[in-house]
Amino acid sequence: ILHELENNDRVIGGISQKSSNFAKSFYSKFCSGELIITDCKTAEMVKLSENSFRDVNIAFANELSMLCDEVDVDVHELVSIANRHPRVNILIPGCGVGGHCIAVDPWFLASQNENITKIIQTARIVNNAKKDWVVKKIKKTVLEIEKDLKRSVSIACLGLSYKPNIDDLRESPALDIVMDLINSNMKVLVCEPNLKSHPNIDLHSIHDITLKADLITILVPHKEFYNLKFSKKMTLDFCKALSS
């Protein structure tokens, strides 16, 4: 975060040239990136467009992951090979999109321009639907395991935050997934190494989960989950944390 604060380019859109110049003078004291002055409407549109662009690209990856599941293709192998093309850069799919920017900003562009923002709206629909797809995938897998074991099983959910290596839960799809499973009266063990506690969810250590869980689901690729090995455990890795 500090690196971005100091090195990222900045778009400055004041309500007047005087206010823009003042903001540029302020940022120049600590920011080495380029300081770009424009009008306030363009500056706001730039920010919303950046986050909408990211949302659209994530939606493509998430939709691709669901398609690959249907046709029995490893989406991570597919992405790795496809990205060898010099003009292709498919993102790694996850369990949805969260946070206070990407999950929210596209609606500011779409809400008053519904007829000409179909791609933006569709991306929001796809990314919101991904967490529901993940829940259904987990529940289906649980039923299959219970049929084999002839008993109820426990599910480990790794990660609650909206992106890796932070404690921020705003608009987190992982949190929604976990709460859906809990509200469905399933046995859920949750590990979030970036939180000490949660008001509605009991948190467990990775060690406890390894010992107790029948099914491991990785929702957020925190660094603590890289290259974990779960012997004799079934694992659903929705973010490719195991081989990061």
Q: What is the pLDDT of residue 69?
A: 97
Sequence-ordered list of residues with C-beta below 8 angstroms from that of 216, at least 6 positions apart, any chain: 156, 158, 209, 230, 233, 234, 235, 236
Active-site positions?
47, 101
Q: Could you read off the pLDDT of 7-56 as tens digits, one per residue?
A: 999 999 999 999 999 999 999 999 999 999 999 999 999 999 999 999 99
Q: How far apart are CA 203 and CA 160, in angstroms?
A: 10
Number of Cβ within 10 Å of residue 159's Cβ equals 31
Does the pTM surpass 0.85? The reply is: yes
Residue 231 has pLDDT above 70, yes or no: no
| 161 close to 220: Cβ distance less than 8 angstroms | yes
Residue indicated by tokens 């998430």: 62
Higher pLDDT, residue 124 or 226: 124
Residue 230 has pLDDT above 80, yes or no: no
| 96 close to 127: Cβ distance less than 8 angstroms | yes
